A and B are shown apart, each in its own frame.
Chain A
Amino acid sequence: DAKTTQPNSMESNEEEPVHLPCNHSTISGTDYIHWYRQLPSQGPEYVIHGLTSNVNNRMASLAIAEDRKSSTLILHRATLRDAAVYYCILRALSNTGNQFYFGTGTSLTVIP
């Protein structure tokens, strides 16, 4: 199964942009790149996903490298409510369906 590698933790100042990196060197051509975040004591929450092109939504932007072996989640202006664990996940395909395999993610601390 394709796996991802993320830094264990990152810090950002409030109202500054945050770039959360993810390496997925074994990604296959059909794997979508998904990002989720988990606030304390809550279930994971969908943030964004993409295949090859960069993606934007109201929460964040996703920049995907041309060779697709890495991606970056961009929070344009970090707020205290963005403090969470961020998971970069590949949507792996199999003959019986598809499912996510989570790593330990990046714990983002936002400094006021």
Chain B
Amino acid sequence: NAGVTQTPKFQVLKTGQSMTLQCAQDMNHNSMYWYRQDPGMGLRLIYYSASEGTTDKGEVPNGYNVSRLNKREFSLRLESAAPSQTSVYFCASSESGYEGNYGYTFGSGTRLTVV
């Protein structure tokens, strides 16, 4: 059972470079999420997609864009990387609905360093 797969696992970028973090889930979940986690901190929501074809901003969306390519895939793009974006990025998915009775499944993370 693959669950949520994130690629790459590690990446080093130079300031100003761009890159796309990929996320795919095989659980037929409607909702997908991108979080970032800075050292010693909890997770902060960047963007989410409640269903295929929709995306919305979370707590810290500045400097990022997302694409919900299809039901399985949700990508996160850094157009011009900055050192402040050095972090561990987690993708998650869940069933959706206007109730809280669904848990999340997280990927193993992408460790990004911007120098």
Contacts and interface: CB of A to CB of B under 8 A. Distances in A.
Given A44-B106, A99-B33, A99-B48, A104 B99 contact: no
B90 A43 contact: yes
B59 A49 contact: no
A17 interface: no
Nearest to B102: A91
B104 A36 contact: yes
Nearest to A41: B109
Contacts of B92: 43-44
Interface string A2-44: 0000000000000000000000000000111010100001111
Contacts of A104: 40-42
Given A36-B104, A43-B107, A46-B105, A97 B45 contact: no
Interface residues of A, number: 28
Contacts of B90: 43-44
B45 A100 contact: yes
Interface in B50-64: 50-51, 54, 56, 58-59
Given A93-B98, A96-B50, A97-B96, A44 B104 contact: yes
A32 B100 contact: yes
Given A43-B109, A97-B31, A103-B42, A49 B101 contact: yes
Interface string B30-44: 010101000011111
Nearest to A91: B100
Most buried by B among A44, A87, A91: A44
Interface of A: 30-32, 34, 36, 41-46, 49, 51, 87, 90-93, 96-105
Interface of B: 4, 31, 33, 35, 40-45, 48, 50-51, 54, 56, 58-59, 90, 92, 96, 98-109
